[in-house]
Structures are given as structure tokens and as C-alpha cells.
Amino acid sequence: MNGISSSGNSNNRKADNMTYEELLASEANKNSNLYVLTAENRAAIRNLHTVMKDRFIDVGIAEQTMIGLAAGLAARGRRPVVHALSAFLTMRAFEFIRSTAGLPNLPVVLVGAIPGFLSEANGPTHQAIEDIALMRMIPGMQVFAPSSNDELLESMRLALAADTPSYIRFFAGDAPLEKPIYGSVPEGCWYSEGTDITLITTGFLLHETFKAKALLENTGKSVGILSLPQLSPAPAKAVLKALQSSKKIVAIEDHFETGGLSSIVREVFAENSSLIKIPQPVIHCISLKTKWFEPLLLPDVLEHEGFTGKKLAERILKNE
């Protein structure tokens, strides 16, 4: 599981980069409008209060109040970053997000910790696997699911520069060894192009997707990888390009099949069908179908749910 840390402890420092907490501290030093709020989820921001003082607010276990406060701060021209567990941030406080921050389109940055499979053995109450769908429903909300600490910082910078609200799935693991051949966080990152299969993924599953690619290539397939660290606005151009260049498209996500990456791929396909040559590609969605995932440690979740590189390759070949 090299490179994958679900703990949220942002020790994954790159030589030329900083941690999430260091980025927030640095932004707070530059911008006195920055506030950080949390509902007592300090794993990744243990020391921030010493730097930010009164501009760091721990509301206790009160997600709704936290969002209302953030909206009030934003209405005063401040830049609130809200850091809490994805499940409770996006679900307990959904109406507050939608009606106090989303409706007036206030630039509140929501960062959700332990999203998707990263909640590991916590169980279904803690599984945010509908968060992308919920946040994508809110007009003007940008949605990010970075695959590394580098992309997390880039997502944060984009979110902090925007005048609209954003939601970021927190993941501070190492970047894959491979670098994108082209692309960017908002446009999608291409790691390879392939005529047989393009694997489209988002967030930390990129790491397993690389392993799946290697196994698929061993069977003689030409395999592309498109990673989408930003899901809203949907990077439609990149998805369309994938749909136009491969016989098979596989969407890989740790999210329910409705409303997340699988839906985005299908939406882009449906909206652009006339631009995609016949025979049109098969779309295969590897996502969570109708049930929550088995609560286990992350490597075991991936194995049990069929998301290790090996399992992914098998499922893709068998069309499961």
C-alpha cells in the first residue's frame, strides 16, 4: 500500500512541497481573512490553532453550526476553510451547505476527511460514498478528489482563489511515481493513452489503477489512464476525448454509482453521443452498487470490494 495513507496525518512531505497544514498556515499568514473551522477533527491540523489563534474555530461536534458560522464569516468577506469528516460534513450539514453557503454562492471551502474507502473499518455511518453526488448537486460548487498531497494542495489553491464554494475530498498521500503526460487538476490528468481501454479514475484509487493497467497491458491491451482530481465542473473535454479514443471506458470510483464519476462519464457520453464514432465504446462502471462497503482496514477493503490493481484488472477483463 505504498503511498496510501488514510489517516489524514499529513506527514507525506515532498522535498519541494508542504503539508496541508503548512499550506493553511502559510495562507493564513498571507491573508488575514482566512479562517479555519473544524468540528473537532484535528488529525491533519493539530498545530494550526497556535498560528491562527482566534481565526481557528473548533465548534465541537456541531457540523450544522460550523457551516452556518462559515457562511456568516464569508458574508463578512472572510475566507473560511471548513475541515471535518466527509460523512458528517456533507450529510449532517447538507441543508446548511446548500442553503447558507450554496444559495448565496459564498466562497466557503469544505474539506472532507476520510472520504470513500478511506473511512476503512469505521462502518457505514462513517462512509462518505454519496458525498460527490450531493456536493455536485449544489449549483456553483466545485468538487475535487485529489490523488496525492500535491493535488490536494493544488485543489486547495484553486478553491481558495475561487469566488464560489468548493468541496475537497481530503487525501494527503504520495503522488504516483509516474507523472502525467499532460493535463491539469481542472482539466484532468492523462498518464497514458490507449486505444483498447481507458481507465478513468478519481482520488487515491489512481494508485491501484496503475497496477491494473500494468496487468491489462500484459494481456496485450493498449491502456490509457485519465485521472480526474476535479469532478465539478465536470472535465467534459477530457472524458469526451477518452470516449472518442478507446473501445472500452472503465470508470473506477469509491462512491455509489449514482451521481459520482460513473454518472459524469455517462452524462458526457449522453450529451456528446453524436460526436462519438460508431462502434461506440462500452462503458464499464466499477463503483459501489447497492450497498455500503465491508468495514475493514484499507488494503482489506480494496481486496474485499474488488478494487486492488489485480482485482480491477480481472473485473475489467470479465466485464464485472
Partner 1 sequence: MTNERLKKLQKHALAARRTVISMATGGGCFVGASLSCTDLFISLYFSEANINPNNKKNPDRDYVLLSKGHAVPAWYAVLAEAGFFDRNLLKDYMKPGSHLYLHPNTHIPGIEFHAGSLGQTLAVAAGIAYDQKVSDNTGRVFVILGDGELNEGSIWETLLFIAAKKLNNLVIIIDRNELQANFTTEEVIPIEPIPDKFTAFGFSCLETDGHDFEKLEEAFALARGSEKPAVIIAKTVRGKGIPGIERRADKWFMQVTEHERDQLIRELEQQESR
Contact residues toward partner 1 (CB under 8 A) are 35, 54-55, 57, 59-60, 62, 64-73, 75-76, 78, 95-96, 99-100, 103-104
Q: Of how many residues is the chain composed?
A: 320
Query: Which of 310, 311, 255 has its CA nearest to residue 285?
Result: 255
52 or 168: CB nearest partner 1: 52
79-85 sheet: strands from edge to edge: 56-58, 34-38, 79-85, 109-113, 166-169, 142-144, 230-232
53 or 291: CB nearest partner 1: 53
Q: CB of 67: closest distance to partner 1 in angstroms?
A: 7
76 or 237: CB nearest partner 1: 76
Q: CB of 59: closest distance to partner 1 in angstroms?
A: 6
Q: CB of 66: closest distance to partner 1 in angstroms?
A: 8
68 or 146: CB nearest partner 1: 68
Q: CB of 103: closest distance to partner 1 in angstroms?
A: 7
52 or 197: CB nearest partner 1: 52
Distances (CA, A) of 45 to 6, 50, 111: 15, 10, 12
69 or 250: CB nearest partner 1: 69
Number of neighbouring beta carbons within 10 Å of residue 22: 16
Q: CB of 101: closest distance to partner 1 in angstroms?
A: 10
Q: Rounded to an integer, what distance in angstroms lies between the CA atom of residue 193 and that of residue 228?
A: 14
Q: CB of 158: closest distance to partner 1 in angstroms?
A: 24
β partners of residue 200: 226, 251
Q: Rounded to an integer, what distance in angstroms lies between the CA atom of residue 53 and that of residue 82?
A: 16
Q: Rounded to an integer, what distance in angstroms lies between the CA atom of residue 34 and that of residue 74?
A: 10
Query: Which of 61, 109, 52 has its CA nearest to residue 83?
Result: 109
